[in-house]
Structure 1
């Protein structure tokens, strides 16, 4: 009896203890959650502001732009892949052969290279190499050596005075596609790796000049490489326009070459002009087609500078010379993907330029005008292919950058004073595209006109019969 009477009392006591214990646990969890949130926010703020972020540059990553299926082929290698997970790609035979050629030519010792890449007494890569990749899984020292030596051998034997079919043992059509593979954002190798494998600065600079020449870029615009950084030296946050930093990879080097014309000078000049901030929305630069510009009295000429920066002054629009061939979409689409990378601070120069050009080019006639002015060098089948290419670029959306917003404002101000003339030429252009785009449309127009004339004559004689 006593035992049974005490049982409810013990159960009530235990319940109270459990309730207080649960309450204390919940309170402790709340405090821990609050402290963890505070620490997380503080660490994120330090990372964003650069404190404690010693290596913050664009990584080798799989990134692409668009969403249309037709764009995907510009983001995947055709023959040679340098991604760690693609070690058995169909171009692996070329990679190994060219790597062997490079090691033989340079007398590099594989064991020395492994020591540079490996941690001491382990089979893992040094942390600095892992930090260069967005996803370093499957990354091995052997694949890094093969990839880097392959790229250097390919670039070295791409000199204009070298027969690549004889030296690299590959047909010319495949070699063209291999060079396109070097442009792909998903297929880059870190420039630090090329530095490691090519200790001769002049030799490395020559390889980079060959890379530019292959893609139609004058070597005069080739950025000079800065001095080699010491091991464990701090790497700055990647900012567009840094001259004392190595490029991230070959695609970054090509972009620097395209933007060589003093971008700092250009932006300093624009910053002197008071301009209010534009919309924060992504947008397109609707300037007007080349025919509309001509209707407004704007002259379009070739810029003497080797740069992607257009300029507008006193009714004259200067545009850079542009070679359009089979590699052009690979260059531009992957440069756009690079500029859209989340860890690359830049002013979207290439993306803005493409949006600008897509506004100027609507029909093959616009391409013809630019070709006649010496601005576009068309190495495709016809002007329609060039127009179609730039019309694809119309899907690109960019923030309103100060440089192109300034040019857009200048051109639109000029348009306002010539609005009537522009409208008249636009109607004439639409009529030309509708009725004179081919011999058959001209014949149909003449037949319809003749039919209307005959109908009018018949009606007139019916209403005014000759007096009998």
Structure 2
């Protein structure tokens, strides 16, 4: 028999369910959600579970923060971390008592744990202070000694191959520490800015976002939105992303003539734009945009302009972790980096496409060959993102240009398929020549059989 509710009192379990639902609504829409700051959290499961991506999401030498806190304690990386922290404390004339007092008195410890980590682990305050102090001083010493005028092997006592891996560890999303901890440990604004400049230059990024002035304790925190110039980054990976997106977005929105675009399908998708060879067949010129230091492409009068892109061993670490960062549920963003990678993966299909971009000065290839670059972007083709306004506008412009050159594109597509089928190796070329010769001989034999010579 089904129960009937005759009284005004609700069952205990139903009241508990109602309270849980209401609490979730408050967390999502209420007072607790006014400040939108992305937290340091784990890689999204649907990305981390891909076996081919594992090496881009796991620290190799240095473990930072609270996610990989105990994974590398027995390795040599722990020695580097503590030794570099001691070096920085000595060079910066810091005192342990002053650091601990500042953390406790300003209540920054609990604030950083609450604001920057999307979990609650039972760490004692002493452990958290040690983590922030050691990890922060280690990072500052590493970045300070990564200046081009300094010999890092001599100063940091580490081989160059390990040093490269340490810098890759600083790119991993859940191997970050709060930027505020670097603020506390480096009181010199110019010194901190120089460390961040070194961090970007190591990864081939020349544009350096200026740090805002240090906020006072009682100053209101603004909602973080892309393009804000007065917001501290959340961590180093966030700072790197800001550097890649420095170009004024209003320049691109003006090209759309301020027309409100219709929202596209909410389905995740890949953008099919066409390879570099298809663009050339349609009469589209691809050139380097020397004034563009960000990831935004532009298209005008049959010319596609792309920013310069250095591709080396750290490139997949940068892009895969930036994609994971943009996919975090508490990060308000427009998927700019993810959209750029989808855009580039459509342009690049074969090593010949990489060669075209390299000859145009767009890609600087520091890998072994063009095939490695093509394989990298083909691997990134698994990224699916919602349609974004800026990239959709460029894509639509290119497709409109394609429509006027459809016949030529079909011819190139046919030639490309023929090339891949018959000229992919010396053996296929020999087989094609043999088949052609056989057809010619058969034709000649048939001709003379039908038209024998008069005797």
Could you state the TM-score of these two structures normalised by the residue count of structure 2?
Answer: 0.90
Structure 2 residue corresponding to 1:53, chosen from 25, 33, 36 = 33
Question: RMSD across aligned C-alpha pairs, in angstroms?
Answer: 2.5
* C-alpha contact (below 8 Å) 1:50/1:237 kept by paired residues: no
What's 2:384 paired with? 397
Q: Does 1:74 align with 2:61?
A: no
Structure 2 residue corresponding to 1:311, chosen from 298, 308, 327 = 298
CA drift at 1:228 = 0.7
Aligned pair in 2 of structure 1 residues 61, 26: CA closer, same or farther (>3 Å)?
farther
Alignment of 1:247-396 (within 5 A): 247-267=233-253, 269-270=255-256, 272-304=258-290, 305-396=292-383
CA drift at 1:410 = 1.0
CA drift at 1:312 = 0.6
Q: Deviations over 1:119-160 (max 9, x none)?
A: 79x9x9434434321235245211211100000000000000
What's 1:15 paired with? none
Q: Does 1:96 align with 2:82?
A: yes
Uncovered stretches (5+) of structure 2, i.e. residues with no partner: none
Provide the C-alpha distance between the structure 2 equivalents of 1:118 and 1:295, rounded to a whole number of angstroms. Answer: 65
CA drift at 1:240 = 1.7
SS of the counterpart of 2:272? coil
What's 1:132 paired with? 116
SS of the counterpart of 1:131? helix
Structure 2 residue corresponding to 1:161, chosen from 129, 146, 149 = 149
Q: Does 1:433 align with 2:426?
A: no
CA drift at 1:24 = 10
Alignment of 1:104-183 (within 5 A): 104-118=90-104, 125-137=109-121, 138=123, 140-183=128-171
In our comparison, the structure showing a higher alpha carbon Rg is: 1
CA drift at 1:267 = 3.1
Uncovered stretches (5+) of structure 1, i.e. residues with no partner: 1-21
Q: Deviations over 1:311-352 (max 9, x none)?
A: 011111111111111111001000000000000000000000
Aligned pair in 2 of structure 1 residues 136, 48: CA closer, same or farther (>3 Å)?
closer
Q: Deviations over 1:43-77 (max 9, x none)?
A: 54454346343544111111146342101111111
* C-alpha contact (below 8 Å) 2:88/2:137 kept by paired residues: yes
* C-alpha contact (below 8 Å) 1:56/1:235 kept by paired residues: no
Structure 1 residue corresponding to 2:175, chosen from 178, 187, 191 = 187
Provide the C-alpha distance between the structure 2 equivalents of 1:24 and 1:70, rounded to a whole number of angstroms. Answer: 55
Q: Deviations over 1:262-315 (max 9, x none)?
A: 024433553612432211111111111111111111111111111100001111
CA drift at 1:231 = 2.2
Provide the C-alpha distance between the structure 1 equivalents of 2:371 and 2:154, rounded to a whole number of angstroms. Answer: 36
What's 1:6 paired with? none
Aligned residues: 442
SS of the counterpart of 2:304? strand
Structure 2 residue corresponding to 1:442, chosen from 429, 439, 450 = 429
Could you state the TM-score of these two structures normalised by the residue count of structure 1?
Answer: 0.88
Q: Does 1:28 align with 2:9?
A: yes
Provide the C-alpha distance between the structure 2 equivalents of 1:426 and 1:111, rounded to a whole number of angstroms. Answer: 70
CA drift at 1:430 = 1.4
* C-alpha contact (below 8 Å) 1:286/1:359 kept by paired residues: yes
CA drift at 1:434 = 2.0
CA drift at 1:403 = 0.7
Structure 2 residue corresponding to 1:200, chosen from 179, 188, 192 = 188
